[in-house]
Amino acid sequence: MIQGLRPQAHANDPECGQRPVPALSHHGSQAKVIQTKSTQCLSYPLTIATLLTSASWCLYGFQLRDPYIMVSNFPGIITSFIRFWLFWKYPQEQDRNYRLLQT
């Protein structure tokens, strides 16, 4: 990855480890969430996108009766539900290190 173009949401936390493949990148982060009891390393919008994309491809594979498409996208659905459970069990803490803007 080009230095300086790292995602800003997790740039200060080397433990979160952003990887270029979204569907496979958060298995290590899930273990970190359980250890720290914090979902700060996980992205909720990415979880929703992974679930919708994997479900769409599974339905498409089901429509074509193609097991290769269905089976390869099924883990994305399972890990998305695991991540939703982690968000429910360990809710994200609000960042208290901010200043109010004066209007």
pLDDT, tens digit, 9 for 90 and up, residues 39-75: 888 889 999 999 999 999 999 999 999 999 999 999 9
Determine the average pLDDT of the residues in 64-87. Answer: 94
Q: How confident is the model at residue 20 (pLDDT cuts 50, 70, 90)?
A: very low
Q: Taking the complete model, does pTM exceed 0.85, yes or no?
A: no
Domain ranges of the chain: 44-91
Residue by residue, DSSP assigns 36-73 as: HT--TTS-HHHHHHHHHHHHHHHHHHHHHT-HHHHHHH
Which residues contact residue 63 at a Cβ distance below 8 angstroms, ignoring those fewer than 6 apart? none
C-alpha distances out from residue 41 to 14, 44, 72, Å: 10, 10, 25
